[in-house]
Chain A
C-alpha cells in the first residue's frame, strides 16, 4: 500500500496526557546510560534549581512517539510500521521536563515526500503542559521503505 500524499498538513489534536513520573525518568536515564545525579536524586535536582528530577535531553521522544503512533495507526496513512526507519530527529526544549509534569502533544504532519517505492514523512510534536505552557518541540523524519529498499 502506498503512502497517502494527503497526509501532509494533517494535525492530530492532543490525545491522553502523559504524566512524567520520577521512576520513569530514572528508568529512561539508566536506559541511555545517563549518570547525572539530577536524574536520580531529588536533592541533586533541587541543587541545580529544578523543582524535581529533570529528564534526559531525549526523554521527550516518549511523548513524541506516542503522538506519532496516532499517525502510524491511522488506517488511512498507509504506513507499514515494520518498514519504518528513523531518519532524523530534533528536540528543542523551551524549558526542561521535570517529574510531576503533565504533558500533551499536538502532532503536525509537516511534509510527505515520495522516495522510490516509499516515502519520507516529517512530523512535529508541539509538547505543552496542561496549562498550555510550551515545553518542547520535537521534529522526526521517518523513512517508510518501499519493497526492496
Chain B
C-alpha cells in the first residue's frame, strides 16, 4: 500500500471508467480569497467586500470561480504526479460558493468536497478524462468539470 502523496503514477492499462481516483475536502476562508485575488490579479470586490457583494444582489462574499476550479484540480494533479500532465481542463460555474467571515477563529468559511472519477479513456491518445464532482454544503457548484490527463 502506498502512502497518499507518494503514490506511484497511474498506469493507463489499469484504469477503467467509473473508477474513483480519490476525494478530498478543502476548507476555504476569507483569507484564502484575498490570497487568490493577489496571486491571480482578480480584485473584483465581490470576493472580499461583503457590502459590495450584497449591493450587487449576491448573498455575500463568494469565492472566485477560478479559485474553486484551480483548487479542485489539485486532486487530479496529485493523482497524476505531474502538473503538466493535465492537458485540458474545463468547467461550468453553476452555483456561487458563499464564504462566511470566520476571521479570528479556526473555523472554515466554506468547505468544498471533491470527488474524482474516470469519465472516459482514449487508448490512442493515452489520455484519461477525470470528471470532478465539486459540492459545497450539499450543492453542486461546478458542472462538467473535466480534466484530461496524459499518461505514460
In Å, the complex CA distance between A39 and B39 comes to 14
Instruction: Please determine whether B74 and A38 come into contact, CB atoms closer than 8 angstroms.
Output: no
Which of A3-11, A60-68, A108-116, A121-129 lies at the interface with chain B? Answer: A60-68
A1, CB-defined interface residue at 8 Å: no
Instruction: Please determine whether B71 and A81 come into contact, CB atoms closer than 8 angstroms.
Output: no
Tell me the smallest distance from the CB of B35 to a CB of chain A, in Å.
5
Could you say which interface size class chain A belongs to?
35 or more
Instruction: Please determine whether B83 and A31 come into contact, CB atoms closer than 8 angstroms.
Output: no
| Contact residues in A for B90 (Cβ distance below 8 Å) | 88-91, 139
Which of B12-20, B62-70, B116-124 lies at the interface with chain A? Answer: B62-70
| Contact residues in A for B74 (Cβ distance below 8 Å) | 32-36, 56
Instruction: Please determine whether B89 and A91 come into contact, CB atoms closer than 8 angstroms.
Output: yes
A93, CB-defined interface residue at 8 Å: yes
Q: Mark A61-80, 1 if CB is under 8 A from B, else 0.
A: 11001100000000000000
Given A27-B39, A35-B74: A92 touches B87 (CB 8 Å cut-off): yes
A12, CB-defined interface residue at 8 Å: no
Instruction: Please determine whether B91 and A30 come into contact, CB atoms closer than 8 angstroms.
Output: no
Instruction: Please determine whether A56 and B77 come into contact, CB atoms closer than 8 angstroms.
Output: yes
Can you sample 9 A-B contacts with CB below 8 Å? A35-B78, A56-B83, A57-B73, A84-B44, A85-B93, A89-B91, A90-B88, A91-B90, A95-B84
- Besides A39-B83, A56-B70, A66-B41, 5 new A-B residue pairs in contact (Cβ under 8 A), listed by A number: A32-B71, A57-B83, A58-B73, A87-B92, A91-B89
Residues of chain B at the chain A interface (Cβ within 8 Å): 5, 26, 32, 35-36, 38-42, 44-46, 52, 56-57, 64-67, 69-71, 73-74, 76-78, 81-84, 86-93, 147
